[in-house]
Structure 1
Amino acid sequence: MKNIVLFASGNGTNAEEIIRYFKNNSQGTVVAIFTNKSDAKVLDRAKNHEIPAVVFNRIQLNEGFVLQELRNFKPDLIVLAGFLLKFPESILKEFPNVINIHPALLPKYGGKGMYGMNVHQAVLDNKEQETGITIHYVNENYDEGEFIFQKSVNIEDCQSAKEIASKIHILEHRYFPEVIADILNSKN
């Protein structure tokens, strides 16, 4: 069984979908949740599923604390599920199997500051007819790692960024756990 470590900064709906998917799945298990927000709702989700949580700040992320904690959990795959800080190269060197989900069809609407409702509002403002999700490997730059999976959705009927977000959440919850399982299978 492969060890999955999740990083999240907020509500944790994607994290919870991943936890549920792997609850009774022999491919992998979520062994820890890391967050940079002591009040993040993802901590409640971790507690409800009896998964250890590690809370850290930006300095601890970049100066070795998080790397040391990761070593304790021996992750086969690190999954950024709504994690908003730039992932340090020092961690990527030791743990190169890090993936992220982005709420748009990269390379459009990626980069620093492009997350959550910022992305959806930009998509709406530019009158896009479709958007989607991109799951990609993480490298030293925001949203520039190798693409693993993309799925689009028509948004011509959406009148607000919130409506777009709803359609994106459906895609994220459906496909993110499946793509993680595929990655774990390919690493056997």
Structure 2
Amino acid sequence: MKKIAIFASGNGSNAENIIQYFKNSNQGTVVAVFSNNSNAKVVEKAKNHQIPVVVFPKSELNAGFVLHELHRFQPDLIVLAGFLLKFPEFILKEYPKVINIHPALLPKYGGKGMYGNHVHQAVLENKEKETGITIHYVNEHYDEGEFIFQKAVNIEDCKSPEEIAQKVHELEQRYFPEIIEKLIPNI
């Protein structure tokens, strides 16, 4: 069974969805949740599922602590699920199987500062007819890793970033765990 570590910074709805999806799986299991925010709801959600949580200050992501903790859990796959910090290259060298979900159809609306409602607001302001999700490998640049999966949704009826966010969130909840499961045999 493959071991999955999740990195998240906020609410944790995608992280919790992945934890639940793999609870009864014979392919993979979530072994830890890492967060740079001790007040993030993901911390409580992970603990409610008896998943070990590693909380670290932002400064420790680029120091040895996070890498040391990853060595402790030995994940086969690292999943960024609403993790807002740039993932360090030195960790990618030791753990090259890192994936991320982005709330837009990359390469549009990607890069530094493009997350959550910032993305949805930009999509709305540019009068896009569709948006969606992109699941991709993580490399040394924001949102530039090889694409694994994209799914679009029509947003012509959306009048606010929140309405767009709802449609994108539905895609995330449906497809993120499934795509992780499809990747597992190849890692």
Do they superpose with TM above 0.5?
Answer: yes
Partners of 1:103 and 1:113 lie apart in 2 by 12
1:85-104 deviation per Cα after TM superposition (whole angstroms, max 9, x unaligned) = 00000100000000000000
Equivalent AA in structure 2 for residue 7 of structure 1: F
Matched, 1:77 2:61: no
Which 4+ residue blocks in structure 1 deviate beyond 6 angstroms?
A: none
Structure 2 residue 49 is the aligned partner of structure 1 residue 57: no
TM-score, scaled to structure 2: 0.99
Aligned to 2:176: 176
2:51 partner letter: I
Aligned to 1:146: 146
Whichever residue aligns with residue 46 of structure 2, its letter is A
Aligned-pair CA distance for 1:8: 0.2
Counterpart residue number, 2:17: 17
Shift of 1:186: 2.1
Query: For 2:153 and 2:182, how far apart are their aligned partners in 1?
Result: 22
Q: Which moved more, 1:90-99 or 1:178-187?
A: 178-187
Residue 55 of structure 1: how far off its partner (Å): 0.3
RMSD over equivalenced CA pairs, Å: 0.5
> Which runs of no fewer than 5 residues in structure 2 stay unpaired?
none
Aligned residues between the structures: 187
Could you tell me which residue of structure 2 aligns to residue 48 of structure 1?
48
SS of residue in 2 equivalent to 1:100: strand
Structure 1: gaps spanning 5 or more residues:
none
Corresponding residue number in structure 2 for 1:112: 112
SS of 2:114's partner is coil
Instruction: Tell me the equivalent position of 1:87.
Output: 87
Alignment-derived partner of residue 38 in structure 2: 38
Identify the residue that residue 165 of structure 1 maps to in structure 2: 165
The share of aligned pairs that are identical, in percent, is: 73
Cα separation, 1, equivalents of 2:183 and 2:91: 19
With structure 1 as the length reference, what TM-score do the two structures score? Answer: 0.99
